[in-house]
Structure 1
Amino acid sequence: MSRLKLIPPLLSVAALAACATQPPTADLSPAASAPAPTPGYDWIRNTDEPPQQALVYGMAHSDEVKLQLFCRPGSDTLDLAAILDKPARQLRLESGGDTETYRATFEEAAISDGYYAQARASTKDPVFQRFRRLGWIAVWDGDERHAYAARPAALAEIERFFAACG
């Protein structure tokens, strides 16, 4: 066999060996870039007002609330409420690369500085399905992004909320 005929197979083997010896790359999946929980804040599920379910991001036993999700069990519909620094006619949410923008109404917040924005959404929207899996969602307030990440113990409450909502 001629030496020239051996060159293509040897090049193929060398190329495969080079691929196999590359250092591992960083995990660029949305879960790998998840925000860390904020000290003192978490997702809290409230079932005190049947039949309505509520999932609230804030400080336990306080009026410090950043985002609220409400539903009637089995409805697939979410009522959203967020406290924003700036008035907004849209509520923009993001989770793990999925982004949705909802038409919102707003008014001055009564219990805190800022504005109370309200919108309606579906539990089936990709941003909420991603939030359900990852345990964090971000709210855009103008050009500022505020991420609301769950502590590990709250992940089960997020799942229970979405399971109840439908």
Structure 2
Amino acid sequence: MRRRAALSFIVACTLSACAHQQTPAALPGMAWSLHEVEGEGAKLAFGQPQSDNVVLMLSCAPRSGEVRVSANASPGARPELELSSGSRSARYPAEVAPGLGESVLVEAVATARDPVLQRFADSGDLAIAVNGRRTPVPGDKAKAKQFLTTCRA
């Protein structure tokens, strides 16, 4: 599952990996999309619709209680990822793996009941930081709540 999620994210970032050398910024027209594929679990991605330009991907196996957070970053990224929503924030140890082009893939695991993800489900607002570069993403409360409900054990 871990390799499949990483591969899915790398494929989704094919175009953006070449264009963005750091955690990409949210651009006008970007939105959340929610997908659940049998055998792959639920995926909540923020990026440009109908494209491979993905800023952030959250994935989980249904009712696993774990959420994998993935973002692409520049080479030399620290093995740490920070999520924040409203007044809540949390830092997670991460794995850094080669991505496509010059980018790297930064992945961390959170629990679906972490306070920052609870706040995300309540508000839809979330920001991610890699190497200290914070990228806020506009909210979609309905998709955030549906995704986290699927993930909770």
Conservation of the 8 A alpha-carbon contact between 2:70 and 2:106: yes
State the SS of the aligned residue for 1:159: helix
| Corresponding residue of 1:92 | 82
Count of matched residue positions in the alignment of Structure 1 and Structure 2: 126
Change (3 A) 1:113 1:136: farther
Q: Distance in 1 between matches of 2:54 and 2:38?
A: 18
Could you tell me whether the CA contact under 8 Å between 2:61 and 2:151 is conserved in 1?
A: yes
Higher strand share: 2
Gaps of 5+ in 2: 1-25
Asked if residue 81 in structure 1 is aligned to residue 67 in structure 2, the reply is no
Structure 1, unmatched stretches of 5+, are: 1-36
Q: In 2, distance between residues paired with 1:106 and 1:120?
A: 12
Match of 1:134 in 2: 123
What is the alpha-carbon distance in structure 2 between the residues aligned to residue 64 and residue 90 of structure 1?
Answer: 22
TM-score, with structure 2 as normaliser: 0.74
Work out whether residues 125 and 141 of structure 2, in 8 Å CA contact, stay in contact via their aligned partners in 1. Answer: no
Instruction: Give the drift of 1:107.
Output: 2.2
User: What SS does the corresponding residue of 1:104 show, helix, strand or coil?
Assistant: strand
- Following the alignment from structure 1 to structure 2, what is the Cα–Cα distance between the partners of residues 84 and 93? 15
1:161 matches 2:151 = no
**Sequence identity percentage:** 28
TM-score (norm 1): 0.69
Instruction: State the 1:40 CA deviation.
Output: 1.4
Runs of 4+ aligned residues of structure 1 deviating over 3 Å after TM superposition are none
TM alignment of 1:56-135, pairs within 5 A: 56-85=45-74, 87-110=77-100, 113-135=102-124
C-alpha distance in 2 between matches for 1:140 and 1:165: 22
Who wins on radius of gyration, i.e. which is larger?
Answer: 1
